[in-house]
Amino acid sequence: MAGTEHFDQAASTWDQADRRVALAEAVVTAIAARISLTRDLSVLDFGCGTGLVTLALAPRVGRISGTDTSPGMLRELATKANAAGLPVPLLPLAEDGSGPLGGPYDLSVSSMTLHHVADVPGLLGRLARHLVPGGQVALADLDAEDGSFHEAGVAIQHRGFPRHRFQEWLEEAGFAAVHLETATVTRKEGRDYPVFLATARRRALA
C-alpha cells in the first residue's frame, strides 16, 4: 500500500473534513442497503483509517476488526473506540500491506483504500481466503478518474477503477453474485467523483 507517511501526518485532523465524514456515512448506508447487518457477523474493515466506517458498523454487527498500514490512523481509531466503549481489535499491517488479517470473517468491507493497493486482484484473493465459505465483501472506491482527485504528493496506485474490470477481478478471485452500484458522489475542489460499492459472495467450497 502507498502513502503511509502521508496518512500518519494527516491522522489527527482527518475527521475534520466534512466531505470525508459524509462519504463514510454514505458508504455505510449503501452497505446496509445491500448486506443484512446482524449481531452474529464477524467483520473486517480493510484500510480502516480513523474508523469512520468501522465505528459506524460496530454497533450493528457482532464483532469488527480494523486493519491499516498507518500507525497514526490506528491510534486515532483506538482513541475513538475506547471513548465510545466499542471493542475494535486492530491488526497493523506493514507498509507493503503484508501481515495477518485474522478471521475467518463473515464480511470484509473497505472504503477508499483499494486505489492505494498495487495488486488489487491479489488482495481480493487474499480477502476471499479470510472469509468463511459464502462470506461477503462490500468494497467502496472511486470510479476511474483522471488523477485529479488526489492532491500532488499523495502516493496512489490507481486512478480509480473501471467497474467492469473490478467485477472481473472479483469473479477471478472466487466471488459470485457480484453487484456494483453508485454508493455516492463526493465533491472535491468543485468536481464530482462517483464512488461505487461492489458487493459479492465468496463461492462455497466444493
Separation CA 27–CA 49 (nearest Å): 14
Q: What's the pTM?
A: 0.95
Structure confidence at residue 193 as a pLDDT band (50, 70, 90): very high
> 18-32, 86-100, 133-147: which has the minimum mean pLDDT?
86-100
Q: Give the 3-state secondary structure percentages of the chain, helix then strand then coil, rounded to 5.
A: 35, 30, 35
Separation CA 195–CA 182 (nearest Å): 6
CB contact set of 160 (below 8 Å; sequence gap of 6+)? 115, 141, 142, 143, 144, 145, 149, 193
Among 161, 162, 198, 201, CA closest to 181 = 198
pLDDT in tens, 132-145: 999 999 999 999 99
